[in-house]
Amino acid sequence: MGDLIQCLDHGYVRLVDVMGSDLTVVNAARVSYAKESSELTERDIRLIKFLAREGHTSPFRHAIAQFEIYAPLMVARQWWKYIIGSAHAEGSGDSLDAWNESSRRYITEEPVFYVPRDDEWRSAPENSKQGSGGRLDEILDYHEIGELIHVYEQHIEQSIHLYERSLELGMCAEQARLFLPAYGMYVRWYWTASLQSVCHFLAQRLEHAAQKEIQEYAKAILELIKPHFPVAVGELLSD
């Protein structure tokens, strides 16, 4: 499909493919009575509302979406941990998820790193061990923040140099990647999931308490998927 939304400084979400529509959900539910709708009616919309409200989730797993995602590793790993954890969560129904990620065991494309803008660095939260607080420039002066960012950028440059040099000297790619800083490095993957699984992810990662970077990706996923399933997405995220 090629629909793409930019995220952060170098990232993006691209909707690769979609299988199904709101009508897919309706007909999956109606098959138990040997019924089928050829177009979405008000009666069908009421059925979708009922299914979502009562937690009858299996019909929503017959619609599928596939995304290509390019994000910093810290976002990718949080995303992946969510998928693994939700696969066993009560009611998640997360049985239709696939994840295939590019690997620096096999490729040596130029490393790209996430560098927040000066006003995007955040402070530690006051009353929590996780998450973040307000803007870091509210508690540090310009020179202190500038020094941290400068050191970070130097660290990236030196790491890329060591990575490229090790490859030039004949080191295998799967070990040369050890020289690269992990959490800020961009990785690319395909995520294929059922509509219910996508909405379950969105319900968690659109919350204000979610990490800001992954919220940005969740907003992109929502913008891309909702036009294809306007009723079902609206109802599954209505809480």
Residue 182: CB atoms within 10 Å: 13
Based on its alpha-carbon atoms, the radius of gyration of the chain, rounded to whole angstroms, reads 21
Residues across the chain = 239
The CA–CA distances, whole Å, from 174 to 97, 104, 106, 180 equal 27, 6, 7, 11
Identified catalytic residue from 61, 104, 177, 205: 205
3-state secondary structure 168-192: HCCCCHHHHHHHCCCCCEEEEEEEE
3-state secondary structure 124-176: CCCCCCCCCCCEHHHCCCHHHHHHHHHHHHHHHHHHHHHHHHHHHCCCCHHHH
- Residues 19-31: b if buried by 16+ CB within 10 A, e if exposed: ebbbbbbbbbbee
Cβ atoms of 112 and 8 closer than 8 Å: no
Q: Using DSSP, state whether 90 is helix, strand or coil.
A: coil
Residue 30 is among the residues annotated as catalytic for this protein: no
Count of H-run helices and E-run strands, the chain: 8, 5
The residues that are catalytic are: 205
